[in-house]
Amino acid sequence: MFRKAFSDSVPVMAGYGTMGFAAGVLLSVNGGVSMPALWGAFSSGTFISGPLQYLFVDWVRTSASIGGVLFVVLCVNLRYSLYGLSLLDTFKGVGFWTRTYLIAGITDETYALEVACDLPPERKRRYCLFLTALDHMYWIIGVTAGALAGAALPVPSKGIDFAMTSLFLVILTEQCRERANRLPAIIGGVSVIAVFAVLALILGMDKARAEMLIPTMMLMVTVLLAFRRRMEKGAAR
C-alpha cells in the first residue's frame, strides 16, 4: 500500500519540492523575519496551500490585518469544500483524528489521486493516509529547505518575487483550459481592475492596492451570482 502511494506521489514530490522551495526562498528574502526556516516549516505544516504560502510572505512583511487575510483564504480555498463532497464515502469509518488529518491534507493534487484510486475501502483508506502524509511532507521539506537556502546563500534576489505572480498565472492557465472557468476568471479580472481604478482615484495607488481585495471579492461574488443562470446553462450544454 505504501509502495503504491509512494510511486503515485513522485510527480507531486517534484512539483511540491520546487514550488515549496521557491516559496521558502521568497519568505527568507522578502518576508523580513528573523527565523524564516522556523516560520516556513510551521506555516507549511499548518495550512497546505501553494497560493497561501506565497501570500504568507506578503502578509508577514506588511503585518496584514488578520480579518482581511481570512477573507482571502476563504475565496482562494472555497473549492476545497467541494472536494470533500466526493470524499464523504471514502473517509467514512475512519477514526476521528485520522479523519481530521486527512481533511487538513486535502489539496488539488492529493485529492486528484485519492479520487482516481479504486481500491477496496479498507485498503483505500490506508492508501489515502500514506498519500496525504507523503504530500504533506514534501511540501514542508520544500518550503523549509527553500527558507534555509535563501537565508544561507547570497541568492541574487532582485525580482524573485515574480515567482508568486508566475504561480498565479500558471494556476489561472490550467483553470482556463476548462471552458466553464473562463467567464468566472474574466469576471474576477475585470472586477479587480475596476475596483483598483476607482480606489486609485480616491486613495492613490498604494493605498488602493492595500485595500482592494475585500471590495473586489464582494463585487465578484455579486456578479458571479448575477451570471449564475447563464453559466449553468453554458455548463449543461
Partner 1 sequence: MMDGKTMYIVSLIVSVGILSWLIRALPFLLFGRGGEPPKVVSYVGRVLSPAAIAMLSVYCFAGYACARPPAENLWGLAEIASGILTVALQWKWRSPPLSIAAGTILYMMLVR
Report how many helices (DSSP H) and strands (DSSP E) the chain contains, helices first.
Answer: 13, 0
CB of 106 closer than 8 Å to CB of 88: no
CB of 18 closer than 8 Å to CB of 137: no
* Helices marked H in 153-212: 162-177, 182-203, 205-211
Could you say whether residue 115 binds partner 1 (CB under 8 A)?
no
Identified binder of partner 1 from the candidate list 10, 14, 201, 226, rule CB under 8 A = 14
Could you say whether residue 51 binds partner 1 (CB under 8 A)?
yes
Touching partner 1, residues 54-83 (CB under 8 A): 55-56, 59-60, 63, 66, 69-70, 72-83
| Distance in Å, CB of 157 to partner 1, minimum | 8
Could you say whether residue 39 binds partner 1 (CB under 8 A)?
yes
Could you say whether residue 226 binds partner 1 (CB under 8 A)?
no
Touching partner 1, residues 127-166 (CB under 8 A): 156, 158-160, 162-166
Which residue do the cell numbers 465578484 mark? 220
Identified binder of partner 1 from the candidate list 1, 13, 98, 104, rule CB under 8 A = 104
Could you say whether residue 221 binds partner 1 (CB under 8 A)?
yes
- Pick between residue 152 and residue 204 the one whose CB is nearest to partner 1: 204
Identified binder of partner 1 from the candidate list 2, 115, 153, 189, rule CB under 8 A = 189
The alpha-carbon radius of gyration of the chain (Å, integer) is: 20
Q: Exposed, middle or buried: residue 237 (CB in 10 Å: 0-12, 13-18, 19+)?
A: exposed
Which of the ranges 116-124, 128-136, 144-152, 213-221 carries the binding residues for partner 1, by CB under 8 A? 213-221
Q: Write the CB contacts of 121 (distance below 8 Å, at least 6 apart in sequence).
A: 90, 93
